[in-house]
Amino acid sequence: MKLWKKLLFAAVIIVVAAALYLLISIRSISVEQVSPDLHVLFGVGSNTTVLNTDVGAVVIDSMTFPMQGALIRRMAEELTGKPVVLLINTHYHLDHTHGNPAFQEGTRVVSTERTLSHLKALDASFWEGDRAKLLPNDTFDDELKIELGNKTITLKTLGRGHTDGDLVAVIEEEKTIVMGDLFFNQHYPNIDLEAGGSVQEWPATLDAAFALEFETVVPGHGLITDRLGMRDFQRFMGQLATIGQMAVIDETPLEEALNSDQLNADKGYTEVTLAGISIGLNREFVLRRAWQESTGNFTRKN
């Protein structure tokens, strides 16, 4: 066999193996029980929360692919013995919303008004045709209380951080808060400045979360934790905010900011990956974002 044929064959094998690995990863979703009525699903993309109520299942965030959405829907129905009656999207990013199209047409889909705006403006190509039927159809600006039989879910916007449209969900009877991507547990966060995210305002947004009643915390990425775990993340974000502020005061160039030794609250932090593939959410990324926001070196897209 000629060398070029061997190389081509090897390349095909690598591509096929990678595709199979991704397919297996997409179909791999694990479950952690928080209480008899509350479960968290872990897979490629965001964490997904499933709540059992008297009137049906509630799903918070739908992961990255429609195939995952179908698995989540089936698992929610199996875990609760009921159909999904409510789907909540904490914000617009694809790893929290692209599973939506697998849910039943007519399902109540809730998000903030800003999230719906971002989906239409920044992710329009995905939401064409029938997929548009599973866009959020019930939106709010500040707070929305939803009572479903024996469960009460309070949805709130607390301020800017990951984007300018994130919501948190407090499940009162479970003493649990679902933070979405306002909290990355032991991971470097995505800071979407282009969609209104803010390093500078993120610590205060977390303060607003701490004022709510809860014990258990479900992050958008990472393991389930408690108030102390989220305090650690707030300290990390506070250090980033200070680095950004000092960059303006000291007129710090970007390269110097990227090598800052003032960020030390990230011990043990790792990247969020897509099926093991790096998507660039690392220490350099968050330092760059802090510098960009404070110096104005970015462009809002919506």
Encode pLDDT of 192-206 as tens digits. 999 999 999 999 999
Taking residues 75-82, report their average pLDDT.
Answer: 98
| pLDDT averaged over every residue in the chain | 94
Strands 277-278 and 84-88: unpaired
Inter-residue contact 82 to 57 (CB < 8 Å): yes
Distance CA 134, CA 136 (A): 6
pLDDT of amino acid 201? 99
Phi, psi of 44 (to 5 degrees): -70, 115
pLDDT, one tens digit per residue, over 131-189 is: 999 999 999 999 999 999 999 999 999 999 999 999 999 999 999 999 999 999 999 99
Distance CA 126, CA 123 (A): 6
Kindly report the pTM of this predicted structure.
Answer: 0.92
pLDDT of amino acid 17? 44
Inter-residue contact 115 to 155 (CB < 8 Å): no
pLDDT, one tens digit per residue, over 204-240 is: 999 999 999 999 999 999 999 999 999 999 999 999 9
pLDDT of amino acid 274? 86
Domains of the chain: which residue ranges? 28-226
Distance CA 171, CA 38 (A): 10
pLDDT of amino acid 16? 44
The structure tokens listed for 210 are 């701490």
Q: Lowest-confidence range among 5-14, 34-43, 73-82, 107-116?
A: 5-14
Taking residues 75-99, report their average pLDDT.
Answer: 99
Count of CB atoms situated within 10 Å of the CB of 21? 13
CATH 3.40.800.10 holds for 28-226 = no
Taking residues 50-66, report their average pLDDT.
Answer: 98
pLDDT of amino acid 85? 99
Q: Lowest-confidence range among 20-24, 75-79, 246-250, 288-292?
A: 20-24
Look at residue 3 and tell me whether its pLDDT is greater than 80. no
The residue type found at 269 is: Y
pLDDT band for position 26 (cuts 50, 70, 90): low
Look at residue 262 and tell me whether its pLDDT is greater than 60. yes
pLDDT band for position 95 (cuts 50, 70, 90): very high
Look at residue 5 and tell me whether its pLDDT is greater than 60. no
